[in-house]
Structure 1
């Protein structure tokens, strides 16, 4: 009988799924792993962001942790997650996390005898800050409906709805949608030209859904 025991193994990757922008002063991303004494030699802990081939954080026992790239200046390098010298700086404490840090975080733990990786996605989201919905006066039976929304992250999915009766609400097709990303937040402008004879006494509404958040 063959028994395969993995000396190095990531037990848990603690990364929050969704965080409201500005709601927390810091976030801790933790990579809990197990290793036996014989597998600890050559231990290196690295974190990666999205598909970048270069790590954004690295710690080697006996040396201070380092932050690179998008995490440079955004990590508390003095954060200690465990008194175990082989676990001391395995975690990242992000300081004042912003939406641009959203994405996949991968923890890679390696020694001379093995390697293991784990990945989770985190979204730092911002709900809409302002929104307006207006319609023009009909002219030759033509009217336009315009919606503007600002201050969202991540990129929103937009739907314009028309309430034709108490029990009947429909999604309007063929929208003209313009999205711009400025200072880490999306602004959206939606317009639609309609024949007012098709929507008499209608009530319009807008639906905004933030991707990977469900807001």
Structure 2
């Protein structure tokens, strides 16, 4: 039986779109039950509606504190029967209570090879540090920002003439590849958490090559 997924967004939701496209495959182990945004003007809401998906807005400005906002989001997710939560550009810090309520059932994608460069401006920080590789990480969410067991990573080479913008575009392409794969692993019961480490089934019926490499840069 397919697992019901809720996607939380704050903006255009490009990773959400990648998940929508993956879920359109009849063999994909997850259905998107709800797309929820904390911003009424989030562009991703239109994309979700075009795909025929249920959407909701829980405007954080309407709540006096993070706890009450999180409680409202939690209620909407559970009303929709959501079993797995995917953060896709959701620009709100979640309370520990909310995170623990979805422990090992909520995942996020971050534009760096965690544990390197948590937080913001990851691409420029990688360039400034003289890194030869950057990338992205899908991980289980924990109360501490950008931590949690790692499910999938893609490595992207940094070109000598890369800027924050050019590197960001190339990493985003890799994000769109590994996020659907990571969700498929979780929804398909092909991974488990042991301690604080995600263990993937060694007999996977899927190609894992996309988890470790992304297209070469041009030039």
TM-score with structure 1 setting the length: 0.20
Which TM-score applies when normalising by structure 2?
A: 0.20
More helix by share: 2
> Higher Cα Rg: structure 1 or 2?
1
